[in-house]
Amino acid sequence: METQALRLTLERRLAVALGIAAGAALLEAFGSWWSGSLALLTDAGHVGTDAAALGLSLAAVRIGKRPHTPEMSFGYHRIEVLAAFGNAVLLGGVASSLAFAVYNRLSHPQDVQGQTMFVVGVVGLAANLAMVSLLGRSARRNINIRGAFLHAYGDTLGSAGVVVGAALISVTRMDFLDTGIALLIVALIALSTARLLRDSARIILEGSPADLRPEEIAEAIRAVPGVRGVHDLHVWTVTSGLYSLTGHIAVAGDATVQQAARIVEMAEGRLRERFGIAHSTLQVHSLQDEIIAPGEVARMD
């Protein structure tokens, strides 16, 4: 779980990145109109979704701070996952509309002013690099921020393509390079969409965390002294960095309540230390030794 100080820092970074993205999108849209560059238009569309994604992520972070209630026992942490899913859907929509724009440009070629395209592209690249720097560290541990980061990262690659393409167009006058770069940006957006949809859908469907293997978790619990077996094990992600687990463990039939409680405590401690599972619920079952009474043997003959 992120501390209050970390979340406050995260909010500030998101707010700054939001301002950068909005300004860069407006500049690139104007530059596209001025230069006739489709690559700049696709990049402006991507940066515009960056701004929308950052706004959605910022709102999710703030909503996620609300306290738990009896009706919302896990609080509002899952809102961040929904925001990530929403970002993925937004990316998909942008990719589709930009792909249609590329198709139209192929049918109706247009002259491109390479020098204007280059200047605006450099400014857009600088803006995207700033956003990547602001969000990179937080994206490793928060899927909501990862959604916004993937927007910015993909757009950084696109902006780099715009700058390189603009330089080549200025020298060679090969205007078709502009359409090729636009197509590359669309492909980058589609790739980011697929990754974010996969990760967010996995959490929404309460699948096992991608970085945890249920077999290893079960083996770690079985290695606790006094545990005879593990079954009905479930582990899932509430939100980034917050894992939950439920399961049943078997202990010896002659184990006292105090002994069973100590076994559960040791198992939960191992789950916290080794796997970072802070919220676990383990139910204890007594396992009687399999001894067949003499009377049962006589009835079996």
Q: Which CATH fold would you assign to the domain 214-294? A: Alpha-Beta Plaits (3.30.70)
DSSP 268: H
> Does the pLDDT of residue 62 top 80, yes or no?
no
Q: What are the sequence ranges of the domains in the chain?
A: 4-204, 214-294
Least confident of 2-16, 215-229, 234-248: 2-16
Q: Whole-angstrom Cα distance, residue 23 to residue 192?
A: 22
- pLDDT, tens digit (0-9, with 9 covering 90-100), for 232-270: 899 988 876 678 899 999 988 888 888 888 999 999 999
> Per-residue pLDDT averaged across 94-107, rounded?
74
Q: Say what the pLDDT of residue 217 is.
A: 92
Q: What is the pLDDT of residue 119?
A: 81
pLDDT digits (tens, 9 = 90+) for 285-296: 876 554 444 444
Residue type, 3: T
61-81 mean pLDDT = 73
What phi, psi does 284 have (nearest 5°)? -100, 135
For domain 4-204, the CATH architecture is Up-down Bundle (1.20)
Q: Comparing 263 with 143, which gets the higher pLDDT?
A: 263
- H or E segment to which residue 30 belongs: helix 4-35
Least confident range from 41-50, 101-110, 193-202, 289-298: namely 289-298
Backbone angles phi, psi at 241, to 5 degrees: 85, 0
pLDDT of residue 224: 92
Q: Where is mean pLDDT largest: 50-54, 163-167, 282-286?
A: 282-286
Token pair 């701070």: residue: 65
What distance in Å separates the CA atoms of residue 101 and residue 38, rounded to the nearest whole number? 8
What's the pLDDT score for residue 5? 56
Report the distance separating Cα 271 and Cα 277, nearest Å: 5
Query: What is the rounded distance in angstroms from the CA atom of residue 211 to the CA atom of residue 140?
Result: 12
Q: What is the pLDDT of residue 4?
A: 54
> Is 24:43 a contact under the CB 8 Å cutoff?
no
Average pLDDT estimate for 164-183:
76
Strand residue runs (E) in the chain:
227-239, 242-252, 279-287
pLDDT above 50: residue 300: no
Nearest Cα to Cα of residue 200 among 253, 150, 262, 136: 150
Between 293 and 144, name the one with better pLDDT: 144
Q: Which of 136-145, 150-159, 279-288 has the highest mean pLDDT?
A: 279-288
What spatial distance separates the first Cα and last Cα of the chain, rounded to whole Å? 61
Q: Stretch 34-56: mean pLDDT, rounded?
A: 76
Confidence of residue 297 (pLDDT cuts 50, 70, 90): very low
**What are 39's two structure tokens?**
């690559």
